[in-house]
Amino acid sequence: MLRERVEKALDRIRPALQADGGDVSLVDIDEEKGIVKVQLQGACSGCPSAQITLVMGVEKAIMDEVPEVKQVLSV
């Protein structure tokens, strides 16, 4: 199931985010379009590097694990 695979990818990077006082949660998945919506939490939500974290960390981890995902958005 797609949701389980996305959660597994998030679980891989979650310790690094939590080490900096942040976290990430899965909000929604549009399986038809391949879009995953996540929410950065804690220190990550207001961090100036949040966009870099989203693209280089969260998006990369999800897309490596789940190739069907085409885009990861922060909501």
pLDDT at residue number 45: 83
Interior/surface letters 8-44, b for 16+ CB within 10 angstroms, e for the rest: ebbeebbeebeeeebbbeeeebeeeebebebebeeeb
Domains detected in the chain: 2-74 (3.30.300.130)
pLDDT at 5 over 90: yes
The answer to which of 42-46, 56-60, 70-74 has the lowest mean pLDDT is 42-46
- State the average pLDDT over residues 21-40: 95
What integer best gives the mean pLDDT of the chain? 92
pLDDT at 67 over 90: yes
**Whole-structure pTM value:** 0.90
pLDDT at residue number 28: 97
